Amino acid sequence: MAGDGKDAFFIGYINAVPQPLGRFLAVIGLIVVVVMGGLGLVLSRRTADPGWAVTGYQHIEVRGILEARPYPVLRVPDGEGRKPRAYLLAGEGKYGVQSQADGLYGRWVTVAGYLLKRGTLDMLLVDDKEGIVVASASDVLHPAPPQSLGRWRLTGEICDGKCYSGAMSPGNGLAHKACANLCLVGGVPPVFVSTGAVSGSEYFLLTDDKDGVNARRFADFVGQLVSVEGEIERVDNFYIFKSDPETMRAAGP
Amino acid sequence: MSVTLKPVIWYRSKLVYDGVVLLAMFLYIIAYLRLAPNLQLVSRPIDDAILRMRAFGSCAFLLVSFILAIGPLSRLDRRFLPLLYNRRHFGVIACSVACAHVYYVYSWYLNLSPLNPLLALFSANTSYGQVLGFPFEIFGVLALVILLALAFTSHDFWLSFLTPRLWKSLHMLIYLAYGAIVAHIALGSFQGSGDPFFVMIVCASALGLVGVHLAARSVSRAPEGTAGDDNWVDAGLISTIADKRARIIDLGEGEKVAIFRYDGKLSALTNLCAHQNGPLGEGRIIDGCVTCPWHGFQYRPEDGCAPAPFTEKVATYRLRRDLDRLWLDRRANPPGTRVEPLPVNEGVADGG
């Protein structure tokens, strides 16, 4: 068809482009530019909500008793008008704070760091410079013993406690699996995010039924929907899921 | 065409081409990173690094999809041929965008851990025995290695050094890279955000590419030469070859010949351009020379030699006629061999 550019012959090193062909190429170029701009807008606009969390900008200092459950947990007993609280601890980067906590378990300490918070999970990212410092003991304040909530089969996702609690947005899912595994290998506590609540909480510190901290046992299941059985304990405001790795199964979407 | 190898020879068409590609890329990234976050329905902002790895990753996928569509679209509609002309620049831009995606993954997901980030890339997730949770990063690594190799060898120096046949084979790996990118997205991003619209875009792009390739294959099939006596094959009627155009004859086993009609004469050359194996038979006779539709490389029809000062040569073939019927000797002459053009006699009906 004459005039639509189909008969034109383009040679790149000759600068003159036959007009009908030039018009066709201009239209194609415009379509490509507009479609790309539109797709960028729509795809980003449709980003899934990572969920609300406190994301680690608040620097705080907390005094309490350091416990191994089996990950380092700072227990702040009730008293002086406040409720008891327990903070999971993690370090900067993809590291836990086991080496800093060694030798201090059972003692009163002051921990300086940044607060992460999601649901019933409170986590302190221990400040590398200030760290965990031995503090004066209190004779009157004692943490309550853990409360057993029985045996449960839960369905949910294994995440690393730091990214999920707010250090990353989002910090879960299979796209994040390698990052989560690196966190767990580095000593960051794993958490189990359940699809259903137990005693009002969907978030659990995940250990195995031997109170082990071998996160490698969970590595193949991190980031995907799984179901697993285990005992649940409540410790102040947070919950521990002592799972039986032998019962862990991939769950359907 | 150039007598010597130069880093880049810029023409106005190349500048416009690169400008449009860069504009499309920048608009996508700006829309993704700067405009859309104000419209997202989220409880807290997505991390900058995660948003960037998503933006650059999806942009690279779209660019590579478009690059792969250019070839078959040019077969289906010749007006897309100019998009082939500078496709290598397009590929280098897409590779750079993919590198930006990798940079953010590397510095955010793989950094600051007890393992070296490169070691972490291969060891953080080793669940190779399952589909859900499969280390999809490995497909991304494969795609990136191929894209880098193709970008690195995209210059004409490598075309000349490796020979067009080997270079072309190497650059066909782009299809393997594309498959790896689709697997990377399907096992990674699809399982993460799970946005049905993005799933639809990826599936439509991949299926659309398969569709245009199949369509192009069906329309570009050259007629096979009918075997005759000895090595001569029937190449059809002379009168059906348009003036300054060619008919492509398929001799089988990937060998095709372009028979050109020009100035009342006929000459036959291999269909493969010496530059990038472009289809000479889809070109034209311009200024007395066969001109490749891809990059404008030119050859004299009677001897297959590029006009001075250029030095490229292609194989020529002998022709004979029986009234209006044309016969082609399937034995190729060495590149640059002169063959006396066959005159188009007055007694033959002129269909050109």
B295-325: buried (b, 16+ CB within 10 Å) or exposed (e) per residue? bbbbbbbbbbbbeeeeebbbbbbbbebeebe
Does A140 lie at the interface with B, CB-CB under 8 angstroms?
no
Contacts of residue B250, Cβ cutoff 8 Å, sequence gap at least 6: B221, B222, B223, B224, B225, B256
Strand partners, A205: A191, A240
Distance between CA atoms of residues A193 and A170, nearest Å: 14
Chain A, 213 to 242: residues with Cβ < 8 Å from chain B are: 219-224
Residue B344 φ/ψ, nearest 5 degrees: -90, 105
**Strand residue runs (E) in B54-184:** none
Across the interface, whether the CB atoms of A44 and B51 are under 8 A apart is answered yes
Cα–Cα distance, B291 to A136 (Å, whole number): 89
DSSP H or E segment with residue B97 = helix B87-108
pLDDT tens, residue order, chain B (352 aa) = 555 666 677 778 889 999 999 999 999 999 999 999 999 999 999 999 999 999 999 999 999 999 999 999 998 998 998 898 889 999 999 999 999 999 999 999 999 998 999 999 999 999 999 998 999 999 999 999 999 999 999 988 898 899 888 998 999 999 999 999 999 999 998 887 678 999 999 999 999 999 999 999 887 666 776 666 678 999 999 988 999 999 999 998 889 999 999 999 999 999 999 998 889 999 999 999 999 998 899 999 999 999 999 999 999 999 998 888 999 999 999 999 999 999 987 555 444 3
**% of chain A with per-residue pLDDT over 90:** 71
No. of helices (H) and no. of strands (E), chain A: 4, 12
The rounded distance, in Å, linking the Cα atoms of A89 and A109 is 13
DSSP at B194: -
Cβ neighbours of B130 in A, within 8 Å: 220, 250
DSSP per-residue letters across A139-181: SS--PPPPEEEEEEEEEEEEEEHHIIIIISSS--SGGGHHHHH
Tokens 């095709």 belong to which residue? Answer: B256
Peptide bond into B309 cis (omega under 30): yes
Give the pair of three-digit tokens for residue A211. Answer: 């109170």
Tell me whether strands B246-252 and A54-68 are parallel, antiparallel or unpaired: unpaired
The closest alpha carbon to B56, from B87, B25, B89, belongs to: B25
Classify each residue of A139-177 as buried b or exposed e, where b means 16 or more C-beta atoms within 10 Å of its C-beta.
eebebeebeebeebebebbbbbbbbbbbbbbbbbbbbbb
Per-residue exposure over B195-213, b if at least 16 CB sit within 10 Å of its own CB, e if not: beebeebbeebbeebeebb
pLDDT at A210 over 80: no
- Continuous segment of H or E residues that includes residue B321: strand B319-322
Domain A147-250 in the same topology as domain A54-134: yes
pLDDT of residue B202: 97
Round to whole Å and give the CA distance between A11 and A24: 16
Q: Please choose, from the candidates A215, A157, A167, the residue with its C-alpha nearest in 3D space to the C-alpha of residue A189.
A: A215
Question: Which CATH architecture is the domain A147-250 placed in?
Answer: Beta Barrel (2.40)
B4 burial level (CB within 10 Å; 0-12, 13-18, 19+):
exposed
Give the residue among B1, B17, B3 at the shortest CA–CA distance from A14: B1
CA distances from B158 to B62, B174, B275, B289, B297 (A): 27, 16, 11, 26, 17
CB A235 within 8 A of CB A75: yes
Could you tell me the residue ranges of all domains in chain B?
12-219, 226-343
- Model confidence at A28: pLDDT above 90: yes
Residue B350 C-alpha, separation from nearest chain A C-alpha, in angstroms = 20
Listed in sequence order, the residues at least 6 apart from B85 whose beta carbon sits closer than 8 Å to its beta carbon are A10, A12, B13, B14, B17, B294, B295
Q: Across the interface, do B55 and A24 touch by the CB < 8 Å criterion?
A: no
Domain residue ranges in chain A: 8-47, 54-134, 147-250
3-state helix, strand, coil in chain A (%, to 5): 25, 40, 35
| Rg, Å, chain A Cα set | 27
Please, what CATH class does the domain formed by A54-134 belong to?
A: mainly beta
Kind and range of the H or E element at B235?
Answer: strand B232-237
Please list every residue in chain B whose beta carbon sits closer than 8 Å to the beta carbon of residue A175. 188-189, 191-193
- Each residue's pLDDT tens digit, A70-112: 999 999 988 767 889 999 999 999 999 999 999 999 999 999 9
Mean pLDDT of chain A: 90
CATH code: domain B226-343 is 2.102.10.10
Nearest to B92 by CA among B33, B158, B166, B27: B158
Q: How many Cα atoms occupy the beta-carbon half-sphere of A246 within 13 Å?
A: 2
User: Which pLDDT value is given to residue B351?
Assistant: 44
Which residues of chain A make contact with B133, given a CB cutoff of 8 A?
A: 174, 177, 220-224
A12 and B CB contact within 8 Å: yes
